[in-house]
Amino acid sequence: MVFSMQEAKPVLAIDLGGTKIIAAIISSQGQVVAKESYPTLAGEGPQSVIDRILFAIDHLLSLRNIDSSQLDSISIASAGAIDFNQGLVTSSPNLPGWHDIPLRDIVNRRYRVNTFLINDASAAALGEYHFGAGKGLNNLIYLTVSTGIGGGIIINGDLYLGPSGSAGEIGHMTIDINGPRCSCGNIGCLEMLASGTAVAREAIRRIGQGEESSLTEMVGGKIENITAEKVSMAAQGGDSLASDVISKAATYLGVGMVNLVNIFNPEVIIVGGGVAQIGDLLLDPVRQVVKERAFQLSAQAVHIVPAQLGDNAGVLGAAVFALQQKLD
């Protein structure tokens, strides 16, 4: 186990998502010693987001009254396609304007400490594998369903990154060749059909076309304020439109998982992210699609379960990744 060094320095981990930035100090035993959260405000552009990351690091160090020299490393889990070797966020559909941003080197130059960069969902996969729903297993896939959809793949106990470090972009597999255009440039991506953003967008579209829903009253008539969380609440309250929107998203998510099950034959698919909090209302239809469509042997072998670590998964996994790189 990577966290075995009795006197090892802690890792400062950053989880950069489309909605929020989480900064945490992780002990060498895998404990979250301190944690802060800030809005990403991604629409303000890369430099503003980078400034908030640096502020988060500075603030956390100040709160703990430590200097960066007392850290083992800084490890950043970022949304988007990552070039691990170059330390670049090459592109990120949920971080507008991010193209070949040298985030690793920006942080390294400021704090003069070993700095690592990994995809946020890959980091969360590591976190769940070591500390959460994947503990004790060897082959799993982690799927985060939130603002967007991301993934991480563990094969024979190792995180699979691919030659450039960008493997696991599960949200950008094509599900519908005639579907909507994704912000990544492709058409019909899973993210455009089953993410939290997609759930909210579909509910807004249907209500805007005149369909009735309790969601209209929930947002005081301002349907642009509908979120996936509100759609979930309405569905749990028996709203037929909301239930249908979630069922449709669950079907698309299930189709995506069928591809994963047939290709990877995992022991478990762990579903995290904000949309996963919908629970069995989402996961039961997903499980049914996998049961009906995947190869029988693989479908029988896989368990589809909710994540256990919540928003700690990314920072814990980022810390594991950093210490693994040091050992390697």
157 φψ region: left (φ > 0), alpha (ψ -120 to 50), beta (else):
left
pLDDT at residue 93, as a whole number: 85
Domain extents in the chain: 11-119, 133-308
**CA 99 – CA 46 distance, rounded (Å):** 9
Domain 11-119 matches domain 133-308 at the CATH topology level: yes
pLDDT at residue 94, as a whole number: 86
Q: How confident is the model at residue 279 (pLDDT cuts 50, 70, 90)?
A: confident
pLDDT at residue 328, as a whole number: 67
CB 260 within 8 A of CB 289: no
Which CATH architecture describes the domain 133-308?
2-Layer Sandwich (3.30)
Checking if the pLDDT of 5 tops 50, the result is: no
Checking if the pLDDT of 228 tops 90, the result is: yes
The number of beta carbons lying within 10 Å of the beta carbon of residue 7 is 5
Checking if the pLDDT of 327 tops 90, the result is: no
**CA 46 – CA 56 distance, rounded (Å):** 15
3-state secondary structure 24-91: EEECCCCCEEEEEEEECCHHHCHHHHHHHHHHHHHHHHHHHCCCHHHCCEEEEEECCEEECCCCEEEE
Q: What is the pTM of this model?
A: 0.91
pLDDT, tens only, 126-144:
999 999 999 999 999 999 9
CATH code given to domain 11-119: 3.30.420.40
pLDDT, tens only, 295-318:
999 999 999 999 999 999 999 999
Interval 250-273 mean pLDDT: 97
Q: How confident is the model at residue 269 (pLDDT cuts 50, 70, 90)?
A: very high
Checking if the pLDDT of 202 tops 90, the result is: yes
How does the average pLDDT of the chain come out, rounded?
94
